[in-house]
Amino acid sequence: MSKSTKTNINKISVITLGCAKNLVDSERFSGLLQANGFEFTDANNADAMVINTCGFIKSAKEENVQVILEAAEQRRKGKLKKLIVTGCLSERYNKELSSQIPNVDFFLGINSDKKILKILSGDQKYTLTGERMLFTPKHYAYLKISEGCNQKCSFCAIPLMRGKHITEPEDKLVKEARGLAERGTKELVLIAQDSTYYGKDVSKKQSLAVLLSKLSEIEQLEWIRLMYAYPRQFPLDILDVIAEHPKLCNYIDMPLQHASDSVLRSMKRGIKIRKIESLLDTIREKIPNVTLRSTFIVGYPNETDADFRLLMDFIERQQLDRVGVFTYSHEEGTSAYPLGDPIPEKIKEERRAELMLLQQQISLKKNKNKIGNTLKVMVDGSNENGYFGRSEQDAPDVDNLIYFNSEHEHKPGDFVKVTITNAEEYDLFGTLMAN
């Protein structure tokens, strides 16, 4: 029996593009649709499709428009009865998209859960409460602790799409986390645009430390991981909480973007490299075996060769564990836009490659030092080569994997001990230890 007599729509396909925050948004509105009797399927068998888009940087925007055009073609052919586009790209370029791309029924902004439900339901009777669906394997899940951002990074278009920082109430997050843990989540990954700003819009005081310790009381959770910290006004009290609670991973992801003061100033990061390095020292003092992840931008308009050398020296000096590098994307509406985009793509790519090569060597040396160590590994899955999983040092989807063989059956979410026998730049290989 189809869910909505009026719209004759029963099966939905949800396509999520972009970051884990977008994934949580899709999980939340899909939970609402599921609670109202809609079923989920792949694009070929769907009556309607919802595309949750990303509008962050040029390459992502191009990829997203391609996905929308392909779906619009399905709509034109009548394969889809309804096509809804939502999320960051649709929030940022609503007018342009609506006027340039036909055969899309609705271009909606972010957080359009109710509108999506109303459009697909057609008739009035529907409930507005629904348990969040999970699109990640169920042994790990993301917890989005806030929306938007109050920082003013000159290169970043996110505040244009996501708006001001809004903290998710603590009790609501703890309830959501408990629900996930009861459904089998072992690893909770805390995400936001700026996770360390948590609570500051509500009480002028950052309260991430309180949230972390509350979450660490949830019995079924094994790992709680913090991502997207911001270096300026970093809440040092979270370091004590992380050091104290074994469930809180000794892991901090903190995008730093650059290491030259003139570039950091132009980027409006509000912090100098000396302060950043003393913060990293403090983090390492408080959490001795901490894993530090960061991301950097090369090719920013005022980045000179000398600035890039400063960044290379910083990476060499700091020996971070996990590093991602983006090339500068010239985004209209950002405060850096008037600076133009003077650095050729070729130079940007060369700098990115040079920085990644340096980090590869650092990562290989660190990985080799782990040979002989026995690590607690959470199983993520298996393939023809055996099992693979991650240690506390590796976030899902972005970090390294540990491969091992075993005669035993292991399910995703199981914890095993693996002794490392071999290492590559990023991944490790080992043998299962008897528990």
Number of residues in contact with ligand SF4 under rule CB under 6 A: 9
Does the protein bind ligand SF4 through residue 56 (CB under 6 A)? Answer: no
Q: How far is the CB of 193 from ligand SF4 (least distance, A)?
A: 4
- What is the CA 214 to chain-centroid distance, rounded? 22
- Are 19 and 136 within 8 A, CB to CB? no
Q: Helices marked H in 78-153 — which ranges? A: 88-92, 94-100, 113-121
- Beta carbon nearer to ligand SF4, 17 or 149: 149
Q: How far is the CB of 280 from ligand SF4 (least distance, A)?
A: 18
Q: Considering only 6-14, 149-157, 209-217, 275-283, which stretch makes contact with ligand SF4 by CB under 6 A? A: 149-157
In the list 68, 153, 221, 256, the residue contacting ligand SF4 (rule: CB under 6 A) is 153
Farthest-apart Cα atoms in the chain, separation: 67
The DSSP 8-state label assigned to residue 356 in this structure reads H
Output the CA–CA distances (angstroms, integers) from residue 275 to 1, 208, 336, in the order listed.
62, 21, 23
- Beta carbon nearer to ligand SF4, 71 or 297: 297
- Beta carbon nearer to ligand SF4, 83 or 161: 161
Given the structure tokens 């992380």, which residue do they identify? 242
* 3-class secondary structure, 409: coil
In the list 55, 159, 199, 396, the residue contacting ligand SF4 (rule: CB under 6 A) is 159
Q: How far is the CB of 56 from ligand SF4 (least distance, A)?
A: 9
Q: What are φ and ψ of residue 284, in 5° steps?
A: -70, -30
Does the protein bind ligand SF4 through residue 158 (CB under 6 A)? Answer: yes
**What percent of the chain is helix, strand and coil (3-state, nearest 5)?**
35, 20, 40
Output the CA–CA distances (angstroms, integers) from residue 167 to 128, 216, 229, in the order listed.
21, 19, 14
- Beta carbon nearer to ligand SF4, 193 or 367: 193
Footprint (CB under 6 A) of ligand SF4, residues 226-265 = 230
Q: Are strands 386-390 and 374-383 parallel, antiparallel or unpaired?
A: antiparallel
- Beta carbon nearer to ligand SF4, 130 or 159: 159
Residue 97: other Cβ atoms inside 10 A: 19
Q: How far is the CB of 97 from ligand SF4 (least distance, A)?
A: 22
Footprint (CB under 6 A) of ligand SF4, residues 182-211 = 193-194
In 3D space, the residue among 395, 285, 416 whose CA is nearest the CA of residue 403 turns out to be 416
- Beta carbon nearer to ligand SF4, 227 or 420: 227
DSSP character string of 196-255: GGTTHHHHSS--HHHHHHHHTT-TT--EEEE----STT--THHHHHHHH-TTEEEEEE--
Pattern 90-129, binding to ligand SF4, x per CB under 6 A? ----------------------------------------
* 3-class secondary structure, 354: helix
Residue 94 identity: N
Q: How far is the CB of 335 from ligand SF4 (least distance, A)?
A: 10
- Beta carbon nearer to ligand SF4, 149 or 416: 149
Q: Considering only 148-156, 200-208, 313-321, 407-415, which stretch makes contact with ligand SF4 by CB under 6 A? A: 148-156
Does the protein bind ligand SF4 through residue 331 (CB under 6 A)? Answer: no
224 half-sphere exposure, CB direction, 13 A CA radius: 31
Q: How far is the CB of 159 from ligand SF4 (least distance, A)?
A: 5
- Beta carbon nearer to ligand SF4, 151 or 262: 151
- Beta carbon nearer to ligand SF4, 196 or 363: 196
Calpha distance 227→190 (Å, rounded): 6
Q: Considering only 68-76, 154-162, 258-266, 424-432, which stretch makes contact with ligand SF4 by CB under 6 A? A: 154-162
Calpha distance 9→223 (Å, rounded): 39
Q: What are φ and ψ of residue 295, in 5° steps?
A: -130, 150
Residues that bind ligand SF4 (CB under 6 A): 149, 151, 153, 156, 158-159, 193-194, 230
